[in-house]
A and B are shown apart, each in its own frame.
Chain A
Amino acid sequence: MADNIIRIENVTKQFAGGVKAVDSANFNIERGEFFSLLGPSGCGKTTLLRMIAGFEFPTDGEIYIDGQASALIPSYKRPTNMVFQSYAIFPHLNVFDNIAYGLRKDRLSRRELKRRVDEALAMIHLEGFGARRGDQLSGGQRQRVALARALIKRPKVLLLDEPLGALDKKLREEMQIELRELQKNVGITFVFVTHDQEEALSMSDRIAVMGKGVVLQIAPPKELYEAPNSVEVATFIGNINLIDATVRSVAGNEVTLDGPGFGQFRAPAIDGLKTGQKLTAAIRPEKLSLTASRPGANYVEGTIKASAYLGDRSHHHVHVKGRPTPVAVAAQNMDRSMTIGIDPSKPVYVTWDPRSLILLKS
């Protein structure tokens, strides 16, 4: 049995205006894991995080933090700390006092306080910045101070609301690595909110994908990408080709389907399929390849509509007769030839390994 630091049971949050920001969320967060909440802006990530922190209270359901029901516990008594999206660095205090803010009640000796704060400053590589005021810090530095200020409290759970959103791309990528390192070192559970799928995929142990207030899937990054459980998740994470398909026959763990433009094709079976059933088959662009000569099986014929050269790979849109949208193919550029090697006026063949297909019930 996993050790769950946070249990979210049937949590719904409806705002006064009638907006259902979170709808019957039901999941657990394990102690020590790096857990991400991923979803488009406005889907309720911040609201969920703020309910864990105690700034909002569920309209329905209960959140347990380290086994304790939290409905009656205000934010200042919870063992969680937060890194705000705006960082919320106190403008009237310097860096030292910002970081030491939450230690007042611990009544530390001056020397002990200084030791703790210096330690925190070292952790975020801001030694010697103690006397700086909040308005003299860059975005990246403020983000670090916010982090140190929360971590110095040694919370059971650290909540981060899009902490890297305000940073430029390069700094953001550095901070992703640093944050992940830091989390491993301190061993504190991180709940990390982001709308950036690459960020979530590269940092997290597990990701909860949200859409319109509903938690759609919770899984480790790889599983989320390779085995999405719904069309929403599949399309939100990465690119994917969708085929509206009908089941023709099921044989053991293989199924034969029929889809517009694709004709009859095979895919790995999933549970509970019936002949005649309609579902969506999906395949990622990088799992398709292009050839000029007709393959033996598992292919469709088409013509290239558009191509984009991206350095390491190229993207092609292939028009397939009978299919309303083009098929997206991502091909690794494995040689240095100056042409795509395929004549757009001639037919091309898109092929795949049937095991790469994903079946999604709607």
Chain B
Amino acid sequence: MTASSAPSTAPGFFDRLRAFYLRSDAAKGYVLLSPVMITMVILLAAPLILLVVYSFWTQVGLQVDTTFTTDRYNDVLGKQSYHDIFWRTIGTSSLVTLVTVGLAYPMAYYVAFGVKKYKFVWLILLTIPFWTSYLLRAFAWKVILGFNGVINSGLMTLGVIQEPLEFLLYNQTAVVITLAHAYAAFAILPIYVSLEKIDRTLLEAAADLGDGAWARFWRVTFPLSLPGVIGASLLIFVPTTGDYVTPQLVGGPTGQMIAYSIQVLFLKVGDWPLGAALALSSMAAVGILVMLFVTAMQLAVRQIR
């Protein structure tokens, strides 16, 4: 007992502070929240701000000229090879998103509606790949798709082919397959959650009103699961646009993506301002595309009656 037992005629500063703390949710909350908040401000917000600042500077030899300039963005926009690799990245990521969500939807539907017992086991089985080493999974595909890899040598041993198939590795297809495999869990879980939340009596109501199984799916289930589909698409599309490992391992010259150019600027060329401008403008473009996509999806859903 400290301040509270003192005869309180005129409350002192500390009494008032204490009373404020006791009655203020915000104060108590922020005391608890501050360690993680400060950590994330230092390790995330500050670096991202610095990145933006850097993109307005100029690399001169080993020094950085800190005069404000938008030249780096002009450099990025003016260079055709960046445009090419950016659009290839968008193409690859879109394809990956389409494939992954398309495969994951029936899977998630099965677990939500088809599995009666051991749902938990199914969910664990589907999340394990999410947590296991991404690098090693990408590496496994390199081993599988390689010129002397599992598929080619397997097919040759079986006598199906005489020569190794060259189209398997070091191209965009290999990148799409590998990423679709790597990001499977990102797609299944959000879709599963949105399907699981659907009130089953809604489907009964639709059946009662004369809808068959397909009509029920298109008019009730699918629209209600759409937040999950959109969430899954974003969780795949955005991170894959910045993927570095997979194109490096299985992409070859035609499968390269924008992260490679950024890495080269940062770790090989050493032009950080240009690298920052490239990274930020790519991310901004991705952001705009994402917003267009979400708006389009929402408009499309309104068409369903």
Interface residues of A (CB under 8 A from B): 16, 56-59, 69, 71-74, 77
Contact = CB atoms under 8 A, between A and B. Distances in A.
Contact of B15 (A57, A58, A72): A72
Given A77-B1, A77-B4, A72 B22 contact: yes
A72 B18 contact: yes
A56 B28 CA distance: 13
Interface residue tally on B, bucketed by range: 10 to 19
A57 B4 contact: no
7 contacts: A16-B25, A69-B8, A71-B22, A72-B15, A72-B18, A72-B19, A77-B4
B50 interface: no
B41 interface: no
B23 A73 contact: no
Interface in B12-35: 15, 18-19, 22-23, 25-26
A72 B3 contact: yes
A74 to B, nearest CB: 6
Contacts of B18: 72
Contacts of B22: 57, 71-72, 74
A14 to B, nearest CB: 11
Contacts of A59: 23
A57 B19 contact: yes
Contacts of A57: 19, 22-23
A77 B22 CA distance: 13
A73 B19 contact: no
- Per CB-CB distance, the 6 closest pairs between chain A and chain B, nearest first, are A57-B23, A72-B4, A71-B19, A73-B4, A57-B22, A72-B18
A304 to B, nearest CB: 43
Given A59-B23, A72-B19, 17 more contacts: A16-B25, A16-B26, A57-B19, A57-B22, A57-B23, A58-B23, A69-B8, A71-B19, A71-B22, A71-B23, A72-B3, A72-B4, A72-B8, A72-B18, A72-B22, A73-B4, A77-B1
A59 B20 CA distance: 10
A72 to B, nearest CB: 4
Nearest to B22: A57
A58 B25 CA distance: 13
